[in-house]
Structures are given as C-alpha cells and as structure tokens.
C-alpha cells in the first residue's frame, strides 16, 4: 500500500540535516546516546560503525 506524502519535504530535509550536524558534533558515544534518546530522533540510534559517513571514528566495541 502506497502512502501519501504530506508535509513540507524541504523542512523535513532541513530537520534531518540539523540532526546529522548535531550527531557529527558529538565527541563520545554517551553524547550520541543522549541525543538519540529524544523520541523524535530515536530512529537515528543505529550501529554507527555501519555509517562512517557520519564522521565518527568508533570501533565496534565502543558502539552501544
């Protein structure tokens, strides 16, 4: 079943960009976890070693 797109796609891109900017600014796993506990961005809590383009340099044992 296809879903109808609603809302403002440009605003959505701006929000996602801002979230990734905040993630890139994090300097520890704890900061990432604190950021990702907010319900609106819970989906960004992912295995960071799979996403090196986020700008993190973490080993798998540092990823929660």
Residue 50 pLDDT: 53
Model pLDDT for residues 7-61, shown as the tens digit of each residue: 677 777 787 788 788 888 889 888 887 777 765 555 555 555 555 555 555 455 5
Question: Count of alpha carbons within 13 Å of 27, Cβ hemisphere only?
Answer: 0
Would you give the distance in Å from CA 12 to the centre of its chain?
Answer: 14
Quick one: three-class SS letters along 10-64? HHHHHHHHHHHHHHHHCCCHHHHHHHHCCHHHHHHCCCHHHCHHHCCCCCHHHCC
Kindly report the pTM of this predicted structure: 0.45
Residue 7 per-residue DSSP state: S
């Amino acid at each position: 079943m296809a879903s109808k797109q609603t809302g403002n796609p440009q605003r959505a891109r701006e929000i996602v960009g801002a979230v990734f900017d905040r993630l890139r600014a994090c300097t520890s796993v704890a900061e990432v976890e604190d950021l990702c506990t907010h319900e609106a961005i819970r989906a960004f809590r992912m295995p960071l070693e799979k996403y090196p383009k986020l700008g993190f340099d973490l080993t798998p044992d540092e990823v929660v």
